Amino acid sequence: MHRVKVRVAEDALDANATIASANRADFDRAEVAVVNLMSAPGAGKTTLLERVLGDGATIGDGVRVGVLEGDVQGSLDADRLAHLHVPVVQLDTGSGFGGECHLDANMVRSALPLLALDDLDLLIVENVGNLVCPAEFRIGEDARIMVSSVAEGEDKPLKYPLMFRTCELVIVNKVDLLPHVDFDFDKFLYHLHAVNPGVAHLEVSARTGEGVDALRTWLARIPERLGAPA
Amino acid sequence: MHRVKVRVAEDALDANATIASANRADFDRAEVAVVNLMSAPGAGKTTLLERVLGDGATIGDGVRVGVLEGDVQGSLDADRLAHLHVPVVQLDTGSGFGGECHLDANMVRSALPLLALDDLDLLIVENVGNLVCPAEFRIGEDARIMVSSVAEGEDKPLKYPLMFRTCELVIVNKVDLLPHVDFDFDKFLYHLHAVNPGVAHLEVSARTGEGVDALRTWLARIPERLGAPA
């Protein structure tokens, strides 16, 4: 039974890679850089986006941002972002996708007609809150960012290594809680660099605003780093 | 493609239900009550177990407890519990199970030979940290308990309704952080009871020990409630 299961999973990942390449080609044509934003449930992805995008339709030097919101059910997160000045599209994995615990390339592809890619320089895709499966499915992104909250404990890179290994930036969020939780920051960084040597990290508090400017700058520079004129 | 995918998923769930029934029969024969303990990553399941089981080999009025630890990779949690006086068996979903994001009935079944069921009254199965998939797979349990940390925010019952709907007890953990996070407890309970009317909840802090006695009592009473003589 397990051999069959593994084969089905491999077929699904092969199909995903093909569709991810098609997404990638569309993003390249439109000169849009794409970020896959991942974390455990409640790590603060949506609040961070509210903070980063709260001031207008662009970040940095005129970088036009759009958001694709992935959720298992409902449109709570997209509703929270609706007051922002950036285009937000909701992708509900419970409708037509069987309540999947992650976004895959095909789900993202189904949302592309709803996005005016030509009007964007940076598309941020907020994945489903989950530290396992989202890491296995490329969606055609340029960069992966994951958010890890200090309330989750410093052992997470060791317990969910694929997620931490495949990202270009780790946002350590809720640093305002550091005095109130048992989180050994040095140990976290030691574990993080054990699975992803030298990966960049930013210390942020979506609640107090600490580190949000640095994150906005990091995001705004992605299109430039990729050579796509913003 | 999606129709095939859904059919594969349904087949998998049917097979799971069959194996869950076999587990259930074994548990009944051994007169062991089984708890499926679920949460998001970092909500505090392992620390709660350390607290609840820290004092000896039994809880309540001589209820003998065992723990089955599910993780995607490694044995960090089982190692943390190794100093306790209860039997702990590690189940690694990365070895032979393809790195699954949840425990299913077959994985639990593969661990049963390692557990002396006849010497137990209560088996606590710590699932993989994930708010989506574990809820879809029965393992033959008598009760489902989920842990929700106040650091995760009060919207989680609405975003992951299946998980909250199918449990008998919700542990609201990390209540010591309430003064430091934006968590509206009334709103959380309103959302919780919208998806699971009248479900019991306990307010707990694994860090300070608040509510741990109440949780230990709740767990110790499960075998009795089920009519299995402890």
Is the CB of residue B128 less than 8 Å away from at least one CB of chain A? yes
Mutation for B interface: A48, A101, A195, most B CBs within 10 A = A101
pLDDT of residue A230: 42
pLDDT at residue B4 is higher than 90: no
For residue A9, the chain B residue with the least C-alpha distance is: B98
pLDDT of residue B13: 81
How high is the ipTM of this complex?
0.88
Structure tokens at A91: 């992708």
How big is chain A, counted in residues? 230
* B 52-81 residues inside an 8 A Cβ radius of A: 71-74, 76-77
pTM of the model: 0.91
Mean predicted lDDT score pLDDT of chain A: 91
Check: CB of residue B124 under 8 Å from CB of residue B219.
yes
pLDDT at residue B3 is higher than 70: no
Q: Got the DSSP string for A170-206?
A: EEEE-GGGGGGS---HHHHHHHHHHHSTT-EEEE--T
In this complex, how many residue pairs, one in chain A and one in chain B, have their CB atoms less than 8 Å apart? 121
pLDDT of residue B229: 46
For residue A155, the chain B residue with the least C-alpha distance is: B76
Q: From B170, B177, B218, B206, select the one nearest B191 (Cα to Cα).
A: B170
Is the CB of residue B101 less than 8 Å away from at least one CB of chain A? yes
Between helix A45-52 and helix A212-220 the angle, nearest 10°, is 80
pLDDT tens readout for residues B119-160: 999 999 999 999 999 999 999 999 999 999 999 999 999 999
Indicate yes or no: CB of A153 within 8 angstroms of CB of B42.
Answer: yes
Q: From A143, A187, A118, select the one nearest A38 (Cα to Cα).
A: A143
